[in-house]
Amino acid sequence: MLLDIKNLSVSVEDKTILKDFSLSVDEGEIHAIMGPNGSGKSTLANVLAGNETYEIENGNIIFNQKNFLELNIEERSQEGLFLAFQYPIEIPGVSITPFLRSAINSKLKYKKEKEFDSLEFAKLIRSKAKELNIPNEMLSRSLNSGFSGGEKKRYEILQMSILKPKLAILDETDSGLDIDALKIVTDSVNRLKKEISSFIIITHYERLLDLITPDKVHIMKNGKIVESGTKSLARKIEESGYQSFE
């Protein structure tokens, strides 16, 4: 078992958002989480990544045999978790290449592995950018600053493909992408699937799941999973909405 969330309750400003939430993800699995707005999907993603805005009331999270709640934000990343943000944060003045080199080197240092020098890293980032149709000149730009919605999402995937996490959470990575960009992103996810163990894909649309086949689909409502199934569940939602699920 790669990720095991048990009876997790989470609140923010005294409002409980996740209620007794449980989910297990095995190595190599792709899980899709669907659900109406406000059902707690992004909260789940943020809590897993260690966002300190949220208060854990109850439950536990085991990731790669480690008690995740005892690890801080960067330790979780270094352990192999990656969150592709729904709204990637703009950081003017921090350019993507030195930032990403520091990120991968922090992880390698944590693992006591050899770090990248700037030349080796430049090679790596260029090859990964090419796969995502990101031109080289974009690699000297500031992080997400002045990017279009689609560009931001593509940069999240670039970061993911360099950091090679054990588990990647894609929080509505498909929203804001046109069909061509969506294809580029999903191709990349499918390529990474061979290298990365598992994915949690948060989405509103079935069309993404046509391009990435999930092993399991979960419906989330009011802070918990109300139904789990296979891809056919996603089709059912597309046809009849979330109202039939309680």
98 vs 241, beta carbon nearer another protein: 98
Among 3-11, 59-67, 73-81, 177-185, the segment contacting another protein (CB under 8 A): 73-81
* Binding-site member from 2, 17, 83, 181 for another protein (CB under 8 A): 83
- Indicate if the alpha-carbon torsion angle 199, 200, 204, 206 is positive or negative: positive
Q: Which of 24, 106, 175, 222 binds another protein (CB under 8 A)?
A: 106
Phi, psi of 222 (to 5 degrees): 45, 45
Q: Provide the 10 A C-beta neighbour count for residue 177.
A: 19
Contact 235, 207 (CB under 8 A): no
CB atoms within 10 A of CB 123: 11
In 3D space, the residue among 71, 65, 162, 156 whose CA is nearest the CA of residue 108 turns out to be: 162
9 near another protein, judged by CB under 8 A:
no
Determine the interface stretch with another protein among 89-97, 147-155, 195-203, 208-216 (rule: CB under 8 A): 89-97
Interaction between residue 146 and another protein (CB under 8 A): no
**Which of residues 39, 42, 43, 77 is near another protein by CB under 8 A?**
77
Cα separation, 21 vs 45, in Å, equals: 13
Q: Which residues partner with 125 through β-bridges?
A: none
* Joined tokens for residue 138: 């974009």
**Cβ-based nearer residue to another protein, 79 or 206:** 79
Question: Residue 110, interface with another protein (CB under 8 A)?
Answer: yes
Report the alpha-carbon distance of residue 26 to residue 207 in Å, rounded.
24
Q: How many chain residues touch another protein (CB under 8 A)? A: 31
Site string for another protein, 42-71 (x = CB under 8 A): -------xxxxx------------------
- Contact residues toward another protein (CB under 8 A) are 49-53, 72-74, 76-78, 82-83, 85, 88-89, 91-94, 99-100, 102-104, 106-107, 110, 142, 159, 163
